[in-house]
A and B are shown apart, each in its own frame.
Chain A
């Protein structure tokens, strides 16, 4: 009898034995929660489309918003070379010489997250930015060093990678002079007229 009674218990009895929960209230009214949910879904879709390379969302999404969805396509290609960016100073007399720019760019000075490396990575073909970089490097150098420069040369080093399985040397920053000419690619050099003007005025 008792067994039969247990069997005839209504289903809601079973529900009552489920663990009770206390739900933390989400901030905002229901319409705002819905809007946030839609915004979240659109953001995830944006991350996917931007990362997978299938869309041109800049046509429909404001760039400052789209910027935050460009996070997924990391290292999609093999490196062909080890790339390093360097600078040379151009004095009024004598040959060009390497400038160590690291003191002027103290954030991650020793790796490729340095502002100097990033500036050349993103803007090496942008004259306006390269001129601003020239001005900044020249100012920094001439304020610190007795031998003044009247111009700069920015270049990248394209250092061949060791073959897979071959002896891999430990990374170290070697002087520019150690690298042959064919490994150097010049991206920016101060115009000769600007050099002449600075040198004749005596104020590089």
Chain B
């Protein structure tokens, strides 16, 4: 374990970061990932076993099959499904977080590589998020682990911060992911064709909300949304790098992902995962503290009903 190097708070890129940012991601990102996986895990035999359609091994690895993993027996597939749900929930609760997040990350990596047909941004990005949680002190606060630690060591200090890399990773990942996405759009059709968003409203992703928008919003509205999105993504390092612009970037990002989630049915889990990462990485600390403290206190005080509850561990 690293010994804590700084006893006081300072500012700057490499300054310790509030633990709330990490714990917010630890609490909610696994739930968004499990939400995405749920519709697949209920049919796991059609996903990971030869009960369903299996893409045969390819002679040479390519982007569609970077690594061939053969189908597994049905009983093992059910075990994988159960272990994924259990480790994801345990990570979210902060119960034996190191083990849980490590197992969750390993299983997510397997699920993403096992079958390209079910590999989407959520389980690819989700794998990396789980690895980042595994490699961090996630679960040190607002967690079952924190409560258990306090039970065994009553005078343990309330942990308030983590070293910079544990939070800066998520912040930098988001900024550069948006920048990459904006660049891809710029190189694609988003500058030359004003109807890109409109063109994606008509297929099987369509929701009632999409249909309502498509029938009421004039084309210029979609074009405006298209260029605003492009500006947001291309400018992400600025929106999130300049402290004063951060609330603007956060609000636009949350609104954009909420719109995408409402408009493109199954994409809702991607939107929720991105919103969790955005909020955890860039929301004002007071909001995160209030949310985590409030939820934690409510849940644990109801559960334990006394001062030795995990809520006490969170409050210190």
Cβ-defined contact, A25 with B1, below 8 A: yes
Which size class do A's interface residues fall under?
Answer: 35 or more
Please give me the residue from chain B that is nearest to A112 by CB atom: B204
Q: Which of A48, A51, A110 contacts B204 (CB 8 A)?
A: A110
Any A CB within 8 A of the CB of B266: yes
Q: Which residues of B contact A133 (CB under 8 A)?
A: 53
**What CA separation (Å) do A70 and B166 show in the bound complex?**
22
Q: Which residue of B lies closest to A65 (CB)?
A: B66
> Do A115 and B46 touch (CB < 8 A)?
yes
A36 on interface, CB distance cutoff 8 Å: yes
A107 at the interface (CB under 8 A from B): yes
Q: Are A118 and B161 in contact (CB under 8 A)?
A: no
B162 and A24 within 8 A (CB): yes
Q: Which of these, A36, A71, A116, A128, contacts B56 with CB under 8 Å? A: A128
Contact flags (1/0) for A46-57 with B, using CB distance below 8 Å?
A: 011111111000
Tell me, yes or no, whether B290 is within 8 Å of chain A by CB: no
B8 touches A15 (CB 8 A): yes
Task: Give the Cβ gap from A94 to chain B, nearest Cβ, in Å.
Answer: 26
**Contact call A78/B193, Cβ cutoff below 8 A:** yes
Which residue from A41, A111, A122 sits with its C-beta under 8 Å from B205?
A111
Q: Which of B56, B112, B195, B265 is the one whose CB lies under 8 Å from A132?
A: B56
Given known contacts A22-B160, A71-B125, A111 and B6 CB-to-CB distance under 8 angstroms: no
Docked pose: A67 CA to B5 CA in angstroms: 36
B20: min CB distance to chain A, Å: 11
Which 9 pairs, one residue from A and one from B, show the smallest C-beta to C-beta distance? A51-B180, A76-B188, A23-B4, A63-B66, A73-B184, A24-B137, A72-B180, A164-B219, A52-B183
Beyond the given pairs A27-B135, A44-B173, A47-B177, 20 more chain A to chain B contacts, judged by CB atoms under 8 angstroms and listed by A's residue number, are A19-B9, A20-B8, A21-B161, A24-B19, A24-B141, A26-B1, A33-B163, A47-B180, A51-B181, A64-B113, A67-B124, A68-B124, A75-B185, A78-B193, A84-B204, A105-B46, A105-B52, A106-B43, A171-B204, A173-B204
